[in-house]
Amino acid sequence: MTQWLNEQEHRAWRALLQMTAQLDARINRDLQEHGGLSKADYDVLVPLSEAPGGRLRQYEIGQALSWEQSRLSHHLARMQKRGLVEREECGTDRRGAFLLLTEAGRCAIDRAAPSHVTSVRELVFEGLTEQQVQTLADVSSQVLARLAATDGRPRRPRRTAPHEESA
């Protein structure tokens, strides 16, 4: 028999889900309006702009963002077409590829960052106590640890077609 969430946990869970969904939507909209970037674009550009020479191996970005390879590959192809990044062959490991920040990409992230950070500060952190911020960090780290601990858990093989099962 299932142990359900208690009243307090249920409220907290609903509020957290609502908050993250609406916050994500707002952040995406703000970034789009202020610089023509999606949150995903921004997430790619940040580590790239912080890397020496604006150059990173693709898999490093993938790991940093917890993205699948395929998602990363498709997304970078779109960003490349828009001129935000470039790809370059890797000399030491010829399977791999470097990702390069272009001038336009540097421009875009520099222009988007200030209003993004301001928005996050005003929406999220401005009203919080240090205690609350610390709890946010602690709880998130705890949950991340549990996710990691149960990651390679027994995955039953999928017996149905992708994106549509009925039983």
Determine whether 101 is exposed, middle or buried from the number of CB atoms within 10 Å of its CB (0-12, 13-18, 19+): buried
Compute the half-sphere exposure of residue 154: CA atoms within 13 Å on the CB side of its CA: 1
- Outline where the chain has alpha helix (H): 7-35, 39-50, 58-65, 69-81, 103-120, 130-149
Please report whether residue 95 would count as binding DNA according to CB under 7 A.
yes
Please report whether residue 102 would count as binding DNA according to CB under 7 A.
no
Rounded to a whole number of angstroms, the minimum distance from the CB of residue 95 to DNA is 4
Rounded to a whole number of angstroms, the minimum distance from the CB of residue 66 to DNA is 9
Rounded to a whole number of angstroms, the minimum distance from the CB of residue 88 to a copy of itself is 22
Q: Are 108 and 84 in contact (CB under 8 A)?
A: yes
Nearest to a copy of itself of 90, 133 (CB atom): 133
Rounded to a whole number of angstroms, the minimum distance from the CB of residue 131 to a copy of itself is 8
55 binds, among DNA, a copy of itself, none (CB under 5 to 8 A by kind): none
Catalogue the long-range contacts made by 92-100 (C-beta closer than 8 Å, 24 or more residues apart): 96/57, 96/58, 96/59, 97/57, 97/58, 98/55, 98/56, 98/57, 98/58, 99/48, 99/55, 99/56, 99/57, 99/58, 99/61, 100/48, 100/54, 100/55
The residues with which 86 forms a beta bridge, in sequence order, are 100
Nearest to DNA of 6, 95 (CB atom): 95
Residues near a copy of itself (CB under 8 A): 2-5, 8-9, 11-13, 15-16, 18-23, 25-26, 32-33, 36, 66, 82-83, 104, 113-114, 117-118, 120-125, 127-128, 130-144, 146-147, 150, 155-156, 158, 160, 164-167
Please report whether residue 127 would count as binding DNA according to CB under 7 A.
no
Choose which of 18, 22, 73, 118 interacts with DNA (CB under 7 A): 73
Please report whether residue 103 would count as binding DNA according to CB under 7 A.
no
Please report whether residue 10 would count as binding DNA according to CB under 7 A.
no
